Amino acid sequence: MIGSLWWVSASLLLRSISGEGPPIDTCPSAGSRSSSVTHTMAEVGGSYKDSLTQEQKDDLRAIAEKIVADGKGILAADESTGTIGKRLSAISLENNEDNRRKYRQLLFTTPNIGQHISGVILYEETFNQSTDSGEKFVDVLIKQGIVPGIKLDLGVTEQVLAYVYKALADHHVYLEGTLLKPNMVTPGQDCPTKATHEEIGLATVTALRRGVPAAVPGITFLSGGQSELDATANLHAINTVKLLKPWKLTFSYGRALQASVLKAWQGKDENIEAAQKVLLHRAQANGMASLGKYEGEDAAGAAAESLFIAKHSY
């Protein structure tokens, strides 16, 4: 019961977004047909449904209060395989499952850890692992009064899109006058397996087909820290997927258009022309990709460099 309640609390947030939670105040945005300033979800096409029992509410409240108990906090031990591998490498340990298990065992079996830690976020692999003596890590934590939880990000793009468009429909937003600027569906930065452009294209189009109405005229992708070449190649792959795509699929790139330009310019007037040529080239390449006609280019140089920035915020 304890391990599952964290998932329930996450679903509560999604229900409130989708119109199945309590009434909320909203302000009409540009493109909204509604002239009223305040609506309940029921008034704009949603419905109120209290889907939790009183017992579930009590359990959720108790767990939340336990996690924020005075003098305690959460241990985030959900590093991906790639991330923890870097940490193990720093102490000359091989990144294998047993070494990862031993490290988490060290953390979770620390004497008196429950005096200061109220909850632990586990990586999916860790959730099913055990100590040397065969005791499940989850049980080790519970015995110390620690709430175990797990964070799953699989399918997040598809799920978010579904709830975004449910909310837009509830508020009668004129979809034909909107554009969507989403991420592409790519592996996490620390994923040890590199997906092909074709795999990224198919995954992205599949998620969009399941969540974005055909009334939306266009989808303009952000580059999300990909190299300039990857951002272009992935856009091309998206446009060449052999599935029905009712929207225009193009780009809205910042770093993936400007990184090479800045390097060419270097802040010098004499480099302006060269930098402008670089910008033109990148814009042209992405324009061709948006048509599914990009033919590739030399992978050497600045355009091939990753533009990923850890914890980047806009």
| CA distance linking residue 78 with residue 127, whole number of Å | 10
- The residue annotated as part of the active site, out of 181, 194, 268, 277, is 181
Is 181 marked active-site?
Answer: yes
Crossing angle for the helix pair 156-170 and 2-18, to the nearest 10 degrees: 40
CA-based diameter of the chain, in Å?
A: 71
- CATH code: domain 174-304 is 3.20.20.70
Q: Do domains 2-150 and 174-304 have the same CATH topology?
A: yes
Measured between its terminal Cα atoms, the distance across the chain in Å is 38
Structure tokens at 4: 């599952």
Please choose, from the candidates 172, 176, 202, 200, the residue with its C-alpha nearest in 3D space to the C-alpha of residue 188: 200
pLDDT for residue 95:
92
**Model pLDDT for residues 235-283, shown as the tens digit of each residue:** 999 999 999 999 989 888 877 888 887 888 677 678 888 888 888 889 8
Radius of gyration of the chain (CA): 24
Alpha helices in the chain (DSSP H): 2-18, 54-67, 81-90, 97-108, 124-127, 137-143, 156-170, 197-211, 228-239, 255-265, 272-290
**Model pLDDT for residues 42-86, shown as the tens digit of each residue:** 444 445 455 568 888 778 767 766 766 566 566 778 888 998 888
Which residues does the chain have with pLDDT short of 50?
1-46, 48, 308, 312-314
**For the chain, what are the domain ranges?**
2-150, 174-304
Cβ distance 99 to 87 under 8 Å?
no
> CATH topology for 2-150?
TIM Barrel (3.20.20)
